């Protein structure tokens, strides 16, 4: 049977020495580059909880089916349909989009749980790892990239913002590069991904089977912390050095461009880059053609997220995401990219001046009291242990 006739996530348990179990979860939608759906999030969350509670499971592995991608992002088609239905019905309550409300809540809960998973969790980030894929990979205890890995937060091109904890992850990129990545959707190869703190180790793709065999041969212990150290040592045994990429090569320039003296100044400097470097040119083009509202929201979240806990960041992003589904540019961005495919989005607001700080402020208005937020319980307990 073709794997795509099976479940959207495949689960396997391999037994190693002394009966230790390695749980392997494989996102199984290679024709859509493993686009992350609500069904995937539900299945994966449930299985990760079971493995977290099973004393026989020593290590969990998360990977993607096919040769092209670990996960290229979220289920944009499903979200587009829900946004069209919401707007056609004339709703004004942002919670009335039931699909978007459930999708983002389920996805963000899963991403948060991965950050706090009680056992070693290895994410094999081969090929394309973008948007929702980075949400899954970002919190894993051990994150592998291979020679063809390409990581990015490309949301500005579809009228969203770097979500799935992107606010948290991008703040931790060295220097001012996190702001640059959020505004330009610039793609990172393996070395730059490690430099940015979005991955941990580079291993050649042809070594994947050997790594999995080594996982079975490893004498795992009952102590999760000891197993984390052992997994790190195991992966280093297969690691190789990838050449520095453009993020590192242009680090000084990017720090200067993104010195935070206001979004308008930062954007102006990026758009004025005069270089024949293809990576920088692509970054400029993406920002120039991206949604001004997305740039403003990414910047506003960066400001509000400073000093916030991971759980607080997810609660912020959830509120902003539902507003984006209700009246932002998200639907228009998906239409232009995937539905009509004219690649000519009509952004509203059309300029950064119109996408003012006051305009962005409305996206942070929560329709619930703080204690009734759908993600209010994040961070209170280790949800994978309950």
DSSP result, 278-341: HHHHHHHHHHHHS-HHHHHHHHHHHHHHTT--HHHHHHHHHHHHHHHHHHSSHHHHHIIIIIS-
Domain boundaries, the chain: 3-372
Query: Could you give the CA distance from residue 78 to residue 339 in angstroms, rounded to a whole number?
Result: 12
Q: What does the pLDDT read at residue 380? A: 80
Sheet with strand 142-145: strands edge to edge: 9-15, 21-27, 57-64, 121-125, 142-145, 201-202
| Percentage of residues in the chain having pLDDT higher than 90 | 96
Residue 384 has pLDDT above 60, yes or no: no
pLDDT category of residue 5 using cuts at 50, 70 and 90:
low
Residue 36 has pLDDT above 50, yes or no: yes
The partner residues of 12 in beta bridges, in order of sequence, read 24
Provide CB contacts within 8 A for 298, sequence distance 6+. 155, 156, 161, 162, 179, 182, 183
C-alpha distances out from residue 138 to 75, 87, 103, 175, 308, Å: 18, 33, 19, 19, 17
Residue 385 has pLDDT above 60, yes or no: no
pTM (2 decimals)? 0.96
Q: What does the pLDDT read at residue 365? A: 97
Mean pLDDT, range 57-77, rounded to an integer: 97
Residue where the block lists tokens 């997305």:
294
Secondary structure element (H or E) that encloses residue 247, with its range: helix 246-249
Mean pLDDT, range 220-227, rounded to an integer: 97
Q: Mapping DSSP to helix (H, G, I), strand (E, B) and coil, where does residue 105 land?
A: helix
Question: Does domain 3-372 fall into CATH 3.90.226.10?
Answer: yes
Instruction: Please confirm whether the linkage preceding 26 is cis (ω < 30° from 0).
Output: no
Which of 37, 112, 107 lies closest to 75 in space, CA to CA?
37
**Chain mean pLDDT for the chain:** 96
Residue 381 has pLDDT above 90, yes or no: no
Q: Report the Cα–Cα distance between both ends of the chain, in Å, rounded.
A: 36
């Amino acid at each position: 049977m073709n794997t795509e006739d099976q479940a959207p996530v495949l689960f396997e348990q391999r037994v190693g020495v002394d009966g230790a179990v390695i749980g392997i979860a494989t996102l199984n939608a290679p024709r859509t580059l493993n686009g992350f759906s609500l069904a995937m999030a539900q299945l994966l969350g449930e299985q990760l909880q079971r493995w977290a509670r099973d004393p026989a499971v020593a290590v969990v592995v998360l990977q993607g089916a096919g040769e092209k991608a670990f996960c290229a992002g979220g289920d944009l088609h499903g979200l587009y349909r829900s946004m069209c239905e919401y707007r056609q019905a004339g709703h004004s309550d942002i919670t009335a989009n039931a699909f978007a409300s459930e999708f983002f809540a389920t996805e963000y809960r899963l991403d948060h749980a991965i950050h706090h998973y009680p056992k070693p969790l290895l994410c094999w980030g081969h090929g394309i790892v973008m948007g929702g894929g980075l949400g899954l990979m970002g919190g894993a205890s051990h994150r592998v990239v291979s020679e063809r890995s390409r990581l990015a937060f490309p949301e500005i091109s579809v009228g969203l913002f770097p979500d799935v904890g992107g606010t948290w992850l991008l703040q931790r990129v060295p220097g001012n590069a996190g702001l640059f990545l959020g505004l330009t959707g610039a793609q990172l190869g393996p070395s730059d991904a490690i430099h940015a703190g979005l991955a941990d180790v580079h291993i050649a793709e042809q070594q994947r089977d050997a790594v999995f065999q080594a996982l079975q041969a490893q004498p795992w212990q009952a102590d999760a912390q000891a197993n984390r150290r052992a997994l790190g040592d195991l992966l280093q045994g297969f690691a190789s050095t990838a050449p520095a990429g453009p993020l590192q090569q242009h680090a000084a320039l990017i720090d200067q461009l993104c010195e935070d003296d206001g979004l308008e100044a930062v954007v102006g400097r990026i758009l004025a880059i005069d270089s024949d470097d293809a990576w920088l040119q692509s970054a400029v083009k993406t920002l120039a053609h991206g949604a001004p509202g997305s740039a403003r929201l990414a910047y506003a979240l960066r400001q509000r997220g400073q000093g916030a806990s991971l759980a607080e960041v997810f609660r912020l992003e959830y509120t902003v995401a539902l507003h984006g589904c209700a009246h932002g540019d998200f639907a228009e961005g998906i239409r232009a990219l995937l539905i009509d495919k004219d690649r000519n989005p009509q952004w509203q607001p059309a300029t950064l001046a119109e996408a003012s700080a006051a305009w962005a402020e409305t996206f942070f208005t929560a329709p619930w009291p703080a204690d009734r937020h759908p993600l209010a319980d994040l961070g209170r307990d280790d949800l994978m242990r309950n």
